[in-house]
Amino acid sequence: MTLSATASNRVHDIAIIGAGVVGCAVFREFTLAGLDCVLIERDADIISGASKANSALLHTGFDATPGTVEAACVRDGYRRYRQIHERMNLPLLETGALVVAWSEEQRAKLPGIVAQAHANGVTDVFEIAAGAVQAREPGLGPGVAGGVWIPGEAVIDAWSAPLGYALQGLLNGGTLLRNTEVTGGTLDDRVWTLTTATGPTIRAGIVINCAGNYGDLVEAIARPSPFAITPRKGQFLVYDKPAYDLIRSIILPVPTARTKGIVMTRTAYGNLLVGPTAEDQAERRIATIEAATLEQLADAGRRMLPGLAAVPVTTAYAGLRPATQFKDYQIEALPERRWITIGGIRSTGLTGSLGIAALAAELYASHFGALKPLADPLWPRLPNLTEELPRPSAQAGRSEIVCHCELVTRDEIVAALDGPLPAGSLGGLRRRTRCMMGRCQGFYCSRRVLELAAPKIPGLLHA
């Protein structure tokens, strides 16, 4: 399964290019639909591109543009995540969200936000007065002019969810190829032959493009791409755990046409997140953090939430969202090309992914043939990374704690380096376990993490 070379004459039913959250959800969907799927990832681990850095929110879709594919996928994905999260042990922090207006001008836009939510079928959304906002969130700074309360918004874990989707695909017979960059492909006699940078070709009946920030380049394998990706960079600040209690709900700004704006939210891991920025760039792979921008984020955070001034920053990160010239998702089936396009999945992709996967399955069924879902699929259970539920460090018979900031035990790290989807990079190990992700950033645990990781992950240490 994992990392094993596929026999050159094997023809998979489906080849999915890109193991971001969308690719992982599509992989799960089609494997559970009884098809032989191969998930192809250019990086050393899954969730290495657009999906690895976002705000990890489960959106109701209250602010989507009504009637769009995005609105439908987010609504459906939201519902599906809530259906399966317990079974996979995926986190869900029921925080609710507050859109906070910081001026009269912004307050004037609140009725429109409520109306849009209702048009999107999110009917439990309502406007609240400034005093009620402050009563819910006494930590907010001065200048609150009003708010909109969205009870259904929630915090999830941007890592465990796609890992769970990929694992379920693997457990039910799917194949994952990492370190495998698709460079081209030809369709002959209803079979795609994909060429890769590393050599072996991959054959499949249908190709699904889930290539995120490379979506238009991969699309060009099938046709001149109708969309062009301009990666939109978002930088985030992560505050240390004492900041977790400064707010209870997700604090959203009144959005602009371009971006949802700077969000403040608890994380599933017990931190507080401030971000993202929205900066267009040509570079598809490298998302740098910039000190001046981070200072501005910190300033904005302190203005909205003065208590942040007393809490140290743990780390900062940046991600790239695959924006196109279109506002909506770009999802379609190309029957003659035996290809399904899933492009331009922006920041809502984490929530939308399960809905996107279901939509892809519908497209498949209408164009390529009926699906026969597995009668009794296997379900993985993900290790708990949240502080809201008991962690292994608090259980009798635990192994030694290696990472003291995040309380990660040796057994958790060993497990993440083993099994059907072992960490393929140090970043993947860190995201799977939280080791080295806390306030000391590896001061106390680097040696012990490397003792476990270096034999399994190449390139960390010199001989």
Partner 1 sequence: MRSVTIIGAGPAGLSAARVLVANGLRDVLVLERNPEPGGLPRFCDHLGWGVLDLHRLWRGPRYARELVRRAAGAEIRTNVTVTGFEPGGRIRVTSLDGPAVIESQIVLIATGIRETPRGPRLVSGTRPWGVTTTGAFQEMAQAGQVPFRKPVIIGSELVSFSAIMTARHAGIRPVAMVEANARITARRPGDLIARHVFGVPVLTATRLVEIRGLDRVESVIVEHEGARREIACDGVVFTGAFVPEAFVAKTSGLAIDPGSGGPAIDNFYRCSDPSYFAAGNVLRPVEHSGVAAAEGARAAAAIAMALRDGLPSPGGAIAVSVGGAMRYVYPQRLIVEHLPLRLFGRAAAAHQGRLRILADDAVIASRPISVLPERRIAMTIPAGDLAGRHAVSILLD
Segment contacting partner 1 (CB under 8 A): 82-90, 134-142, 310-318, 334-342? 310-318
Instruction: Give CA separation, 260 vs 142, 248, 309, 335, in Å.
Output: 22, 19, 24, 35
Residue closest to 187 by CA, chosen among 338, 7, 341, 36: 338
Q: Which residues ranging from 419 to 458 are in contact with partner 1 (CB under 8 A)?
A: 425-426, 439-447, 450-451, 454
Closest distance to partner 1 from the beta carbon of 245 (Å):
9
Per-residue tokens: 34: 């009884």
Instruction: Give CA separation, 392 vs 384, 405, 409, in Å.
Output: 8, 14, 7
Residue closest to 214 by CA, chosen among 311, 59, 93, 341: 341
> What does DSSP assign to residue 134?
H
Encoded one letter per residue, x for contact with partner 1 by CB under 8 A and - for no contact, window 270-299 reads ---------------xxxxxxxx-xx--x-
Environment class of residue 402 by beta-carbon count within 10 Å: exposed (0-12), middle (13-18) or buried (19+)?
A: buried
Closest distance to partner 1 from the beta carbon of 462 (Å):
4
Encoded one letter per residue, x for contact with partner 1 by CB under 8 A and - for no contact, window 200-239 reads --------------------------------------x-
Segment contacting partner 1 (CB under 8 A): 1-9, 81-89, 158-166, 395-403? 395-403
Please say which residue, 244 or 379, places its beta carbon nearer to partner 1.
244
Residue closest to 211 by CA, chosen among 50, 331, 73: 50
Closest distance to partner 1 from the beta carbon of 316 (Å):
6
Please say which residue, 372 or 447, places its beta carbon nearer to partner 1.
447
> How many whole angstroms separate alpha carbon 163 and alpha carbon 161?
5
Closest distance to partner 1 from the beta carbon of 310 (Å):
7
Please say which residue, 355 or 428, places its beta carbon nearer to partner 1.
428
Closest distance to partner 1 from the beta carbon of 239 (Å):
10
CA 371: distance to chain centroid? Answer: 27
Please say which residue, 60 or 425, places its beta carbon nearer to partner 1.
425
- Considering only 241, 338, 432, 434, the residue that binds partner 1 (CB under 8 A) is 241
The reply to whether 92 sits near partner 1 by the rule CB under 8 A is: no
- Considering only 184, 223, 399, 419, the residue that binds partner 1 (CB under 8 A) is 399
* 159 contact partners, CB below 8 Å, separation of at least 6: 47, 52, 385, 431, 432
- Considering only 2, 404, 420, 452, the residue that binds partner 1 (CB under 8 A) is 404
Residue closest to 343 by CA, chosen among 437, 459, 210: 210
Closest distance to partner 1 from the beta carbon of 401 (Å):
5
Encoded one letter per residue, x for contact with partner 1 by CB under 8 A and - for no contact, window 47-86 reads ----------------------------------------
Closest distance to partner 1 from the beta carbon of 317 (Å):
7
> How many whole angstroms separate alpha carbon 339 and alpha carbon 436?
40
The reply to whether 312 sits near partner 1 by the rule CB under 8 A is: yes
Strands (DSSP E) contained in 324-400 are 330-334, 339-343
Prior bond to 276 cis, omega within 30?
A: yes
The reply to whether 400 sits near partner 1 by the rule CB under 8 A is: yes
Cβ pair 40, 19 in contact under 8 A: yes
Cβ pair 386, 268 in contact under 8 A: yes
> How many whole angstroms separate alpha carbon 217 and alpha carbon 209?
10
Please say which residue, 255 or 312, places its beta carbon nearer to partner 1.
312
Question: What is the dihedral sign for C-alpha 367, 368, 374, 379?
Answer: negative
**Contacting residues toward partner 1, per CB under 8 A:** 238, 240-242, 285-292, 294-295, 298, 310, 312-317, 393-401, 404-405, 407, 425-426, 439-447, 450-451, 454, 459-463
